[in-house]
Amino acid sequence: MPSPFGARLAAAMLARGPLCVGIDPHPGLLAAWGLDDSAAGLRTFSQTVLEAVGPLAAAIKPQVALYERHGSAGIAALEELLGAAARAGVLTIADAKRGDIGSTMAGYADAWLRDGSALAADSVTLSPYLGFESLRPALDAAADTGRGVFVLALTSNPEGASVQHVGGADSVARRIALAAAAENQRYADAALGSVGLVVGATVGTALAELGLDLAAVHGPILAPGLGAQGATPADIRTTFGAAYPAVLATSSRGILRAGPDVAALRQATAETLQGL
């Protein structure tokens, strides 16, 4: 079994910088690249991004929904991307946001975290809003195979506050962070635990207002929102404070709009890394 995901991610962040590049093949972006909104266009887009950013970024994060919309052919393109990334030694975060109970959650864990699965990624995003413990099959599968998970905790969409902020000082988001910290006790000897959180880079003062101690989580913090969504590297340092060393900032459109030229994509990636 490989070393735990958190340890491998920490090493990649140290070597390459704390950047994750989202692979988000939106129809408009495919068109801007001169590609058809089809499985073939999706495949070309995905492999081009991997070729360009794989040597530079700590991880890539394909948005699963944008592959699913193309049916089985889209899923096949995602399988090819995950396989090619694995062969190239590039860490992957499947942005699937899965969450369910019982055998259904076990099925999701089997798909994304099992050795030998065609969809196996290094890590997967999860939704805990059926209760954090409902994620147990995925938490245990990740631990058993050296993979990781990122659990939604504090997102920047306006609707998120109606759930995540409930409870004030004992908010839902804080409970999720505490639960992740407890899971990461099994990774106490690693540079980072393998149970991470998703916290938007544009949440501003919400972390302080809700009393979230992200540094105590001892896991990676996936922070989408760098670039096109408005967050700057300075914003991320201010927002995350003491937890900044664990933050994996994510940029998607801010880098992808530089394509389809591989050199231009690499330059955009390098420029993004400079401020982190």
Residue positions annotated with a catalytic role? 97
Which tokens is 92 given?
């992957």
Beta bridge partners of 94: 124
CB count in 10 Å sphere of residue 14: 12
Beta strands in 192-246 (DSSP E): 195-199, 221-224
CA proximity to 220, closest of 201, 248, 179? 248
Instruction: Give the C-alpha separation, 253 to 227, whole Å.
Output: 8
Residue 224 phi, psi dihedral angles, 5° rounding? -70, 150
Q: What contacts 66, CB < 8 A, 6 or more positions away?
A: 24, 25, 26, 42, 74
CA 124 from centre of chain: 7
Q: Alpha helices, DSSP H only, in 117-194?
A: 136-145, 161-164, 172-183
CB count in 10 Å sphere of residue 230: 12
Instruction: Give the C-alpha separation, 242 to 240, whole Å.
Output: 6
